[in-house]
Structure 1
Amino acid sequence: MPKGKAKGPKGKKITLKIAKNSIRIALDGGLRLDLSKMGITTFPKCILKLADVDELDLSRNMLKKIPSTIQKFQNLRWLDLHSNQLEDLPEAIGSLQKLLYLNISNNKLTTENLPEDLSLLKNLRILNLGLNCLDSIPTTLGSLKELKEIGLFDNALTTIPKSVKNLPNLKKLNAERNPFPDSTEEVQDDSIKRVETLYLVQEKDLCSSCLEMCQNERDKMNMLTNKTQSSSRKLSFPLLLTPNSPAKDNQEWRLKGKDL
């Protein structure tokens, strides 16, 4: 057998011509360089000549490394690197101050190899870290005050820092399929409550039959509570009917509210 180190797959070579032909107009009118699903194994240096684009899509390739020259893309608002083979990211990624969207899910990133300078992306709105090998989340990500959505699903997390859960503008936190020691406790401690949809309807807005049905259901629940002498605090809705009551099936106009 011939000796030597086994070579990885030889990816497609991206030329400047190919890259220019891959530029599209984004929905907001900006320029998007779409090199997704191209079989790329190394970051194409030629695209540094197109560093004025607003969006860069290198997803679904076989990239193992992003060079520090990514900092040349100072206009980037949208960067998609998901579904590659990245084991780390350069600190230089923190210099992309205009970045609003960063997707680095489905890679091989570990907590130790997450760059500290991620916390410098002060304008970031969406961050996807799902499907990696993270066993913890840096508390410094709590400085990303503009974050609205963060994906942490399918990692090895046992807890989420309060600095991240309590971000002021956070509306969606997906941490499904992580080995939390007590998933119920984790959800209850989360400032982003994950509960069933509640249907709250004022009594005056119900027909007589629905009102009677709801009152019966409430009476049954009260009787059950009294019998079991449950130690849990009893909920009280002075002017509102019981949440998730059977009346919801007959009230198409009802108000809905769902917390993420």
Structure 2
Amino acid sequence: MTRIDGHLLDPRQLPDPRQLSDARQAESKQHFAAHAALFDPTTFGHIERLGIGPGWRCWEVGAGGTTVISWLAKRVGPTGRVLATDIDTSWQTRAARSPLEVRVHDVAADPPPIEAYDLVHARLVLADVADPERAVKSMIRALRPGGRLLIEEADVALQPLACPDEYGPAQELANRLRHAVRTLLAGRGADLAYGRRMPRLLREAGLRHVESDAYFPLASPACAALEATTLQQLRQDLISEGLTTADEIDHHLSNIATPTMDVATAPLISTWGRKP
């Protein structure tokens, strides 16, 4: 068990699936905390290399939590501005203060903010929106000339295993369940290879100096916590589709709660470029 962003990440203490209506908020907090623990250092490193400093105007798209926007607010200081948007802002625990503003906004449907931003950032957002191409164009329109866009998306198909080191029955079960999750998502129309497309998509959208890299987390407590919350959220669908059983899920959750289970997550593809 480990404490990350103020939350205890322990797969053994996740909500009972029979009480999902009461547990949804707790699951979301666990999910956001795991993402923050896994990906915040990578995100912050990229933004620092893009040159963020006092006075910058930043738009965080699909914020989903407070760790990134709080970090941005510290970097831009009192002369800067950070706009955090999401279709659901219930994660906001207190009223935002300058330089931070939180606003309900759908990047794939609503017009972009009229401000000209130095940085627009979205992490694990585009694969879930109704019209990702429109979302990208909206983010680019909101940039000032020379402004930077940083988009970070998972690529589930690039590394499809929950346990790359498959040396025993527990690891084999983990990989079967990861395959079941991929099958379920693909059946829903999800693009499991979306992350790798981002360099080409940003160049085609007109950005210059486009670059990209990948981060592949392995054997972290947050990897196990993210695996557990994902399975809890998809549990009933996986079972009803005949992709696995309740016993298999429970057995896997018990396995990943042990310190010897090395669980991996899908690689995070970070892609950035400048508006001409």
Q: Which structure has the higher relative contact order (CA within 8 Å, separation 6+)? A: 2
Flag the structure with higher helix content. 2
TM-score by structure 2 length?
0.26
Kindly name which structure, 1 or 2, has the bigger radius of gyration based on alpha carbons. 1
